[in-house]
Amino acid sequence: MILLEYAVLFIVLAPFIGGLLAGIDRKLTARMQGRVGPPILQPFYDVGKLFQKEQIVVTPSQHFYVLSYLVFIVASGALFFAGGDLLLVIFAFTLAHIFLVLGAYSSYSPYSFIGAERELIQIIAYEPMIILAAVGMYMVTKSFFVWEIMTSSLPLILYLPGVFLGFLMVLTIKLRKSPFDLSTSHHAHQEIVKGVTTEFSGPMLARVEIAHWYENVFLLGFIYLFFAWNPLVGIIAIIVAYLLEILIDNTFSRATWKFTLKSAWIIAGMMGLVNLGVLYYLSGVVPV
The string of DSSP codes covering the chain is: ---HHHHHHHHHHHHHHHHHHHHHHHHHHHHHTT-----TTHHHHHHHHHHHSPP--SSTHHHHHHHHHHHHHHHHHHHHHTT-BHHHHHHHHHHHHHHHHHHHHTT--HHHHHHHHHHHHHHHHHHHHHHHHHHHHHHHHS--BHHHHHT--S-HHHH-HHHHHHHHHHHHHHTT-TTS--S--SSS--TTTTGGGTT--HHHHHHHHHHHHHHHHHHHHHHHHTTTTSHHHHHHHHHHHHHHHHHHHTTSPPPPHHHHHHHIIIIIHHHHHHHHHHHHHHTT-S--
Q: Does residue 286 sit within a domain?
A: no
Residue 188, pLDDT > 70, answer: no
pLDDT at residue 1, as a whole number = 53
Domain count, the chain: 1
- Percent share of the chain, pLDDT over 90: 56
Residue 50 lies in a domain: yes
What number is the average pLDDT over the span 89-101? Answer: 94
- Domain-located, residue 191: yes
**Is 288 part of any domain?**
no
Q: Does residue 277 sit within a domain?
A: yes
Confidence (pLDDT) at 287: 38
Give the range of the structural domain holding residue 93, as residue numbers without chain letter.
4-281
Q: What is the pLDDT of residues 265-283, one digit of tens each?
A: 888 878 889 999 998 888 7
User: Does 157 have pLDDT greater than 50?
Assistant: yes
Give a yes or no: residue 287 inside a domain: no
Is residue 57 over pLDDT 80? no
Query: Full-prediction pTM beyond 0.85?
Result: yes
- Is the residue at 73 inside a domain? yes
89 inside domain: yes
pLDDT tens digits along 193-220: 667 887 888 899 899 999 999 999 999 9
Give the pLDDT confidence of 225-265 residue by residue, as tens digits: 999 999 999 999 999 999 999 999 888 888 888 888 888 88
Amino acid at 101: V
